[in-house]
């Protein structure tokens, strides 16, 4: 019997780290000879990028989290494809996918956030009977799932994978800096994240405010967009940090941004793993980050970066000042981080571990 079709379902509206990981896995499955299809929101960045690389896409447009008509349309597609596995990558995908799923298909959930599961009927249904495996992106997420009542036998930890080949810059560092209006000798940090409460931008701006009279001059580039952007820009202007902090909005060329920086900062209050932090280390950047969720598995304190408690702007400020002032420290941490990402968090390793899980599940059900 040939390989059974794998359906990846990700209904994210925006392009974030989770969508990048979904697309990367889908492409790698295709390269490894699996019949793979991606169900994505029609017109979303994920659908557009999937089409660009030749992935077969099932466009879906649910008008609400619980959308029976969309589920019926997906069920019709699945009936023709006869998939062996449905892999759900976000909350809406679980809801629509479970409504549409054929009884014979195995069901896998990727959990990419470290929030506890909600204690309500919908959450119990999503993660209840009929789920065959839950992939946690970090040990921290796995522990949260277990505390929320998910049987440990269902949980497998598979960290995000970093595609180092995609992180090659499009120009020399001097040119990348010129495009961003940066000088050759400027000390520049960056943070790439959606502007939502859990990403901790307020704490980061407060840390910069505490350093505004510090001798360690540096600039901070905030990359990303989101519902809090206007509020954060106002806070930046009122806090007297506007000369140091620039808002760049969403940027497609992540590699160019990272290669223009001297070090990377991440201030989340909650984080499943932090795929951009991984990418920053792959580019040889030292990291100052909060010790939350899967970050300590991603960044080794004192070896590849500096970690501080979440929601502690003063501690974060001290780490930023240290990296801004000590190029030798940045170089040591950055070199170690690059080596560790390539050895332990490669794109190929993530795909291999996911395929091994799929194969094990299919063999138990005798579908391959």
Give CA–CA dist 4/227, Å, rounded: 40
pLDDT score of 56: 95
CATH label of the domain that carries residue 255 = 3.40.50.2000
Q: Residues 22, 153: one domain?
A: yes
Q: How buried is 185 (Cβ within 10 angstroms: 0-12 exposed, 13-18 middle, 19+ buried)?
A: exposed
The predicted pLDDT at position 1 comes to 46
- On the question of pLDDT at 252 being above 90, the answer is no
Residues 326 and 182 in one domain: yes
Closest to 26 (Cα-Cα) out of 50, 44, 48: 50
pLDDT of residue 215: 60
- Check pLDDT > 70 for residue 368: no
1 assigned to some structural domain: no
Per the domain annotation, does 116 fall within a domain? yes
Same domain, residue pair 269 and 175: yes
Give the residue-averaged pLDDT of 318-336. 97
Overall number of domains in the chain:
2
Residues 123, 202: one domain?
A: no
Looking at the chain, the whole-number percentage of residues with pLDDT higher than 90 is 89
How confident is the model at residue 66, as a pLDDT? 80
DSSP state of 118: P
pLDDT of 367 higher than 60: no
pLDDT in tens, 92-130: 999 999 999 988 899 999 999 999 999 898 899 999 999
In a domain, 105, yes or no: yes
Q: Is residue 277 part of a domain?
A: yes
| C-beta separation of 37 from 56 below 8 A | yes
DSSP string for residues in 60-101: E--SSSS-HHHHHHHHHHHHHH--SEEEE-SHHHHHHHHHH-
- The answer to whether residues 174 and 156 belong to one domain is no
The answer, yes or no, to whether residue 9 has pLDDT greater than 60, is yes
Structural domain that includes position 39? 6-161+346-364
Q: Classify residue 288: in a domain, yes or no.
A: yes
Between CA 320 and CA 122 the distance in angstroms is 42
Structure tokens at 114: 């470290």
Strands 305-308 and 245-249: unpaired
Query: Would you say 157 and 138 are in contact if contact means Cβ atoms under 8 Å apart?
Result: yes
Q: Do 78 and 89 reside in the same domain of the chain?
A: yes
Mean pLDDT of the chain: 94
Comparing CA positions, the residue from 246, 182, 247, 243 lying closest to residue 213 is 243
In the predicted model, is pLDDT for residue 192 greater than 60? yes
Q: Report pLDDT for 3.
A: 83
Specify which of 2-6, 97-101, 215-219 reaches the highest per-range mean pLDDT: 97-101
Q: What is the pLDDT of residue 188?
A: 97
pLDDT on residue 2: 65
What tokens were used for 141? 């997420």
Indicate whether 275 and 189 sit together in one domain.
yes
Predicted local distance difference test score (pLDDT) of residue 350: 96
* Listed residue (190, 323, 318) closest to 246, CA to CA: 190
219 inside domain: yes
Identify whether residues 219 and 287 lie together within a single domain: yes
Neighbours of 126 (CB within 10 A): 19
Specify the DSSP class assigned to residue 301. Answer: B
Same domain, 196 and 250: yes
Each residue's pLDDT tens digit, 29-74: 999 999 999 999 999 999 999 999 999 999 999 887 788 899 999 9
Q: What is the mean pLDDT of residues 194-213?
A: 94
The reply to whether 93 and 78 lie within a common domain is: yes
Residues 79, 170, single domain; the answer is no
Same domain, 67 and 200: no
């Amino acid at each position: 019997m040939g390989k059974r079709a794998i359906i990846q379902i990700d209904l994210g509206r925006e392009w974030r780290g989770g969508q990048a990981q979904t697309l990367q896995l889908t492409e790698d499955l295709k390269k490894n000879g699996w019949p793979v299809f991606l169900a994505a929101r029609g017109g979303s960045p994920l659908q557009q990028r999937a089409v660009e690389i030749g992935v077969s896409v099932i466009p879906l447009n649910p008008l609400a989290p619980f959308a029976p008509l969309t589920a019926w349309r997906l069920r019709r597609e699945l009936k023709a494809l006869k998939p062996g596995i449905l892999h759900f990558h976000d909350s809406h995908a679980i809801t629509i996918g479970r409504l549409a799923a054929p009884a014979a298909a195995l069901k896998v959930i990727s959990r990419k956030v470290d929030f506890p599961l909600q204690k309500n009927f919908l959450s119990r249904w999503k993660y209840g009977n009929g789920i065959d495996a839950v992939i946690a992106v970090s040990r921290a997420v796995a522990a949260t799932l277990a505390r929320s009542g998910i049987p440990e036998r269902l949980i497998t930890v598979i960290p995000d994978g970093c595609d180092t080949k995609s992180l090659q810059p499009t120009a020399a560092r001097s040119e990348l800096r010129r495009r961003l209006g940066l000088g050759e000798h400027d000390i520049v940090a960056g943070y790439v994240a959606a502007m939502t409460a859990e990403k901790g931008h307020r704490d980061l701006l407060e840390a910069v405010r505490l350093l505004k009279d510090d001798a360690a001059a540096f600039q901070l580039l905030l990359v990303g967009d989101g519902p809090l952007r206007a509020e954060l820009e106002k806070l930046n202007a009122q806090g007297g940090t506007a000369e140091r902090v620039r808002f760049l909005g969403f940027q497609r060329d992540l590699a160019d941004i990272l290669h223009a920086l001297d070090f990377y900062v991440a201030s989340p209050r909650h984080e499943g793993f932090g795929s951009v932090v991984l990418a920053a280390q792959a580019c040889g950047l030292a990291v100052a980050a909060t010790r939350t969720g899967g970050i300590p598995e991603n960044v080794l304190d004192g070896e590849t970066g500096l970690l501080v408690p979440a929601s502690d702007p003063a501690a974060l400020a001290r780490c930023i000042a240290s990296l801004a002032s000590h190029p030798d420290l940045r170089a040591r941490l950055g070199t170690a981080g690059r080596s560790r990402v390539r050895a332990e968090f490669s794109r190929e390793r993530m795909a291999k571990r996911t395929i091994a899980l799929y194969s094990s599940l299919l063999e138990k059900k005798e579908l391959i």
